[in-house]
Structure 1
Amino acid sequence: MASPNGPHEGPVGVEQLGLDEGMVVQELGWDEDVDQELRDDVMDVIDAELIEDAVEAVDVVLLWLRDESDVADALVDALRDLSDSGYIWLLTPKIGRPGYVDPADINEGANTAGLALTSVVEVSTDWQARKVVRPRSSRR
């Protein structure tokens, strides 16, 4: 079945993120190199703008991260406005792209932050996304 948004790759990537209309999505780590088409697709799906400074708990955080960043610190910062049932999509450049983050560094950072990695999805030509959640055992 064809995507209602046309044949380009973006909607396929955004569908894998599990977003729904009305969700509050915070974006952290934006820079000139992010995938603008993916961002636009996310805003189309949630039917709202991405927010930077939250005034309420958010459902999802899109965290753009590159190799010069400390993974654990970035994930802890992303938790600040995240609802108890919310999750983080950690977006990193794919292998061979500028800013690539080694998966071992991502695993170590998630463990240090007390978080769990669940799935990895290809969301665009240059970016992949890892879903990061609070472990069930740590929820109170």
Structure 2
Amino acid sequence: MTATTDPAASGAGRLGFSADQVIQEWGFDDDVDQDFRDQLSDDVGVELVDEDYGDVTDSAIVWWRSDDGDSTDLEDLLVDAASALDDGGLIWVLVPKMGTRGHVPAAEIGEAAQTAGLQPTTSLSAAPGWLGVRLAAPGRGK
């Protein structure tokens, strides 16, 4: 029996990602959850693209820690991430879980998101040690 990955039933689907989406990754560092990244790439069937990717993307993940900067820095990063999104794209901000080094309070993420023109919609345990906050980008219209 050959195993096939159905993104809808996987971690990617749980985050709202689907097969063949281009997912841009921001804030990569040596502390990210590599298993989460590998599973996400496997689930959608496409490697994650980095911050320098020069085309439209379907979604984004942003790794953010308290020592990455203040809320203004997060706002700027979210504006950059959102500017590359196709209509209907979403962003997941991944922060260290409460009680661990680098944790960022949800209120700070929400404030930065709203200033960047995004709307926080949900949060969940995205990976061991990482909390995910989903941000929806407004449609650009046609």
Query: How many Å apart are 1:100 and its aligned residue?
Result: 0.3
Moved over 3 A (4+): 11-15
Q: 2:83 aligns with which of 61, 80, 86?
A: 80
User: Is 2:49 the partner of 1:46?
Assistant: no
Query: Structure 1 vs Structure 2: percent identity of aligned residues?
Result: 38
How does 1:47-126 map onto structure 2 within 5 Å?
47-52=45-50, 53-68=52-67, 69=69, 70-126=73-129
The residue identity in structure 1 corresponding to 2:16 is G
Query: How many Å apart are 1:112 and its aligned residue?
Result: 1.2
| Whole-Å separation in 2 of the counterparts to 1:38 and 1:44 | 10
Query: RMSD in angstroms over aligned alpha carbons?
Result: 2.1
| Whole-Å separation in 2 of the counterparts to 1:42 and 1:113 | 26
Query: How many Å apart are 1:80 and its aligned residue?
Result: 2.5
Paired position in structure 2 for 1:32: 30
Tell me if structure 2 keeps the 8 A contact 1:88–1:131.
yes
| Whole-Å separation in 1 of the counterparts to 2:107 and 2:125 | 18
Query: How many Å apart are 1:82 and its aligned residue?
Result: 1.1
Aligned to 2:134, the other structure's residue is in SS state strand
Distance 1:12 1:94, change over 3 A: farther
Query: How many Å apart are 1:97 and its aligned residue?
Result: 1.3
Q: Give structure 1 stretches of 5+ with no counterpart.
A: 6-10
Paired position in structure 2 for 1:8: none
The count of corresponding residues between Structure 1 and Structure 2 is: 131
| Whole-Å separation in 1 of the counterparts to 2:115 and 2:16 | 26
Tell me if structure 2 keeps the 8 A contact 1:13–1:122.
no
Distance 1:71 1:24, change over 3 A: same
Query: How many Å apart are 1:15 and its aligned residue?
Result: 3.8
Tell me if structure 2 keeps the 8 A contact 1:27–1:63.
yes
| Whole-Å separation in 2 of the counterparts to 1:110 and 1:35 | 23
Query: How many Å apart are 1:13 and its aligned residue?
Result: 4.2
Distance 1:24 1:126, change over 3 A: same
Tell me if structure 2 keeps the 8 A contact 1:27–1:51.
yes
| Whole-Å separation in 2 of the counterparts to 1:67 and 1:58 | 26
